[in-house]
Amino acid sequence: MDLNFNKNEDYNKLLVSQLNNRLAKVHLGGGKKSIEKQHAKGKMTAHERVNYLLDPNSKSIEIAAFAGEDMYESHGGCPSAGVVVKIGYIKGKQCVVVANDATVKAGAWFPITAKKNLRAQEIAIENRLPIIYLVDSAGVYLPLQDEIFPDKEHFGRIFRNNAVMSSMGITQIAAVMGSCVAGGAYLPIMSDEALIVDKTGSIFLAGSYLVKAAIGETIDNETLGGATTHCEISGVTDYKAKDDKDALDTIKNIIDKIGDYDKAGYNRIDAAKPKENPEDIYGILPKSRADQYDMHDIIKRLVDNSEFDEYKVGYGKTIITCYARIDGWAVGIVANQRKLVKNAKGEMQFGGVIYNDSADKATRFIANCNQKKIPLVFLQDVTGFMVGSKSEHGGIIKDGAKMVNAVSNSVVPKFTIIIGNSYGAGNYAMCGKAYDPRLIVSWPSAELAVMSGNSAAKVLLQIEKASLEKKGEKITKEKEEALYNKIKDRYDNQVSPYYAASRIWTDAIIDPLDTRKWISMGIEAANHAPIEKPFNLGVIQV
């Protein structure tokens, strides 16, 4: 191994170490004291509940662990959006599990909490997966109610989704393991089956204090909406559990009896590990986002037996298109090539840039994968489409539009891995969040923005300088440098993968070595949902 490989390896392993440290902190929710209070009430934490529910030693993936990070500091923070979401296995069946974290503001719903819950429901709907709600929430966080209450993607959409999933035959089970108040009370009752934990669970539209204020009735919360009331008097809930574990065991037994599902029929054979060492990824991936590398070397460390069949190998070389297998599943890979390449005319093309020919190739390949019912995997490290008179005269907008059209209308499941750069229209063409990937994750090396921090800072600096000079200020070299650094620092924070993850532009930041697991579990989930419409590109400029 050369010195550069070792430097890259050290840097990328440090990024993964930082990722794991940040995850450990996020997993503490409201902190150790809040966890102790939860235990003192005889309750498990959200993570403990989810982990107990999932099959021991089975695979799972956590969705949006960094949601809400650094977004609500003036309100005391909202780690992981106050809710834990995992895709895992219960009695061998793949399910989505959503658990309110009562250690974070008593499980109150912030705006990002609603977005994360809606993302969990979206995953369940797209993949026809059973979804389990472990409810322990004080309801809407009132200081931010105007950002969570009335709009289409706000709190009320969750109950609409409950109804839609029920009509689709998607299993929904809710366990009330703490507070379940006001509008939130509809979620468990709109599920197929509802459980409630005795003495700690409660369901009511208005608690005892509000009842007293509204109608003058004096009543305690347990009598108003506890387990005995709802299991024996109102009939609102179906099962009374003596404690958290009893409730979770009951859910396991219910899931165990669900019948098999109709399969989409994606091709799978026995899995094989890559022949090339996946850990080499740390040394291959450059420390600098501007440096070149060969994406073929990354692909070899992600696919079974390190084997793939490349489509149009000599054409449109800044995008690699190939058929391969990941954990036994057949996949079509669309990946940005990140090294300088030479086209048939002998012209050099920049790595990470989408040219006319590469956009054309990708469009054809995506159509082929839809024809053959092969899931698509996008490996993003893209700076955008090629600019300049030559590209414009060649119709780069037209070719780019064809690629975006193919991505938009694709009916096979899509999975996006943001390895490095994800800039501008390149993000769109390579199946960014707006294009409905079933799962989208980034490596710690990723950057998401309209353009790089360096480029954006230069553009913004020119605007800032012009504004100051118009006011009569003299811009010295020192002041210009200070302005540039200030702008770049602010922009660099926004291109960070953590900034994207906190806003759920991505589903997770993952160790590159977990990529195969995410894709495999994602295709397995997608296999629950047969394709219901034909692939049709619509009207395109040829």
How do residues 231-259 score in pLDDT, each as one tens digit? 999 999 999 999 999 999 999 999 999 99
pLDDT tens per residue, range 305-352 = 999 999 999 999 999 999 999 999 999 999 999 999 988 888 889 889
**Residue 188, pLDDT score:** 85
For residues 381-386, average pLDDT? 91
Structure tokens that stand for 174 in this block: 């809710």
**Residue 1, pLDDT score:** 57
User: Of the candidates 501, 503, 492, which has an alpha carbon nearest to the alpha carbon of residue 449?
Assistant: 492
Q: Tell me if domain 31-256 and domain 279-446+506-528 are identical in fold.
A: yes
pLDDT tens per residue, range 356-377 = 999 999 999 999 999 999 999 9
Q: Assess whether pLDDT exceeds 80 at residue 466.
A: no
Q: Assess whether pLDDT exceeds 80 at residue 420.
A: yes
User: Of the candidates 19, 95, 59, which has an alpha carbon nearest to the alpha carbon of residue 518?
Assistant: 59
- The Cα–Cα gap between 141 and 131 comes to 24
Mean pLDDT of the chain: 93
Bridge partners of 194? 174
Report the range of poorest mean pLDDT among 24-38, 337-351, 413-427. 337-351
Q: Are 234 and 214 in contact (CB under 8 A)?
A: no
Three-state DSSP at 90 gives: strand
Of the pLDDT bands very low, low, confident and very high (cuts 50, 70, 90), residue 270 is: very high
Residue type at position 86: K
- The Cα–Cα gap between 119 and 83 comes to 12
Bridge partners of 322? 310, 333
For residues 165-193, average pLDDT? 90
Q: Assess whether pLDDT exceeds 80 at residue 456.
A: no
- The Cα–Cα gap between 380 and 312 comes to 19
Of the pLDDT bands very low, low, confident and very high (cuts 50, 70, 90), residue 464 is: confident
pTM here? 0.94
Give CATH for domain 31-256.
3.90.226.10
Residue ranges of the domains in the chain? 31-256, 279-446+506-528, 452-495
Structure tokens that stand for 392 in this block: 């414009």
Decide if domain 279-446+506-528 falls under CATH 3.90.226.10: yes
Per-residue b or e along 471-494, where b marks 16 or more CB atoms closer than 10 Å to that residue's CB: eeeeeeeeeeeebbeebbeebbee
- The Cα–Cα gap between 368 and 416 comes to 18
Report the range of poorest mean pLDDT among 89-103, 389-403, 523-537. 389-403
Report the range of poorest mean pLDDT among 108-122, 205-219, 513-527. 205-219
- The Cα–Cα gap between 390 and 350 comes to 14
Of the pLDDT bands very low, low, confident and very high (cuts 50, 70, 90), residue 171 is: very high
Q: Assess whether pLDDT exceeds 90 at residue 207.
A: no
Bridge partners of 195? 175, 239
How much of the chain exceeds pLDDT 90, in percent?
A: 73
Q: Are 227 and 198 in contact (CB under 8 A)?
A: yes
> First-to-last CA distance in the chain?
47
- The Cα–Cα gap between 101 and 253 comes to 24
**Residue 381, pLDDT score:** 97
**Residue 209, pLDDT score:** 77
For residues 78-82, average pLDDT? 96
How much of the chain exceeds pLDDT 70, in percent?
A: 98
Q: Are 487 and 457 in contact (CB under 8 A)?
A: yes
User: Of the candidates 536, 521, 531, 445, which has an alpha carbon nearest to the alpha carbon of residue 88?
Assistant: 521
**Residue 542, pLDDT score:** 65
Q: Are 129 and 86 in contact (CB under 8 A)?
A: no
Structure tokens that stand for 459 in this block: 């553009």
Which residues make Cβ contacts (< 8 Å) with residue 200, sequence separation at least 6?
41, 42, 43, 177, 178, 243, 244
Of the pLDDT bands very low, low, confident and very high (cuts 50, 70, 90), residue 453 is: low
